[in-house]
């Protein structure tokens, strides 16, 4: 994939520096990341839709500086949905990824990890998802994280509305992992959480 404009749904998305290597150990380029996000958009976008997000961008690859970006920059195209979210002493203008074109655009910004809110924009104080971050201290302990995830599934059985990634841990090698060494379990909740007032 070279520098070009691609059609994603009803939108054209301009790509740049697609040959830039983001994962040197594996030779994975920004174009590969864009292609991957484009391929999984139909599955991934429903998890992102209507949720403000922040981006973990790695413009110089995963060995370079990580830029954690909450506010939508001025240069983002107008078709990228924006939502204002109050914070202490102000507000943040977040992007919302409601379609494949936005997901591809974020990948072109070297966004390796989109971080979504656990609640939707119309119910910010009412989370409907919960994430368990199972972070092994080093790669040799990854099997411990897998076992912890399976135990977590057992403890939460009946609370999840539909099969979660945790339900499939025994069937796939690396479900719902970030591109770091962490493993996450994500699931929609059957019951509402009480509002948590602290952070």
Helix (H, G, I), strand (E, B) or coil at 84: strand
The mean pLDDT of the chain is 81
Q: How far is it, in rounded angstroms, from Cα 124 to Cα 116?
A: 12
Q: Does 24 have pLDDT greater than 90?
A: yes
DSSP secondary structure, 122-142, as one string: GGTTS--EEEEEE--SSGGGH
Neighbouring C-beta atoms of residue 116, cutoff 10 Å: 20
Q: What is the pLDDT of residues 101-142, one digit of tens each?
A: 999 999 999 999 999 998 999 999 888 877 777 778 888 888
Q: How far is it, in rounded angstroms, from Cα 99 to Cα 9?
A: 8
What global pTM score does this model have?
0.75
Q: Which of 40, 197, 156 is nearest to 103 (CA)?
A: 40
């Amino acid at each position: 994939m070279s520098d070009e404009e691609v059609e994603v749904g009803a939108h054209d998305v301009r790509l740049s520096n697609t040959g830039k290597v983001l994962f040197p150990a594996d030779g994975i380029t920004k174009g590969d990341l864009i292609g991957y996000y484009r391929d999984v958009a139909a599955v991934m976008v429903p998890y992102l839709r209507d949720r403000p997000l922040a981006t973990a961008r790695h413009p110089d690859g995963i060995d370079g500086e990580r830029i954690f970006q909450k506010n939508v920059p001025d240069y983002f195209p107008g078709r990228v949905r924006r939502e204002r979210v109050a914070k202490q002493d102000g507000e943040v203008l977040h992007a919302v990824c409601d379609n494949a074109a936005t997901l591809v655009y974020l990948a072109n910004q070297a966004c390796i990890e989109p971080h979504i809110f656990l609640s939707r924009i119309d119910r910010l104080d009412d989370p409907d998802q919960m994430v368990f971050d199972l972070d092994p201290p080093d790669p040799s302990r990854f099997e411990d994280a897998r076992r912890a995830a399976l135990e977590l599934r057992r403890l939460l059985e009946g609370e999840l509305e539909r099969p979660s990634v945790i339900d499939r841990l025994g069937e796939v090698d690396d479900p719902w992992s970030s591109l770091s060494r962490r493993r996450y379990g994500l699931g929609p909740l059957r019951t509402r959480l009480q509002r948590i007032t602290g952070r």
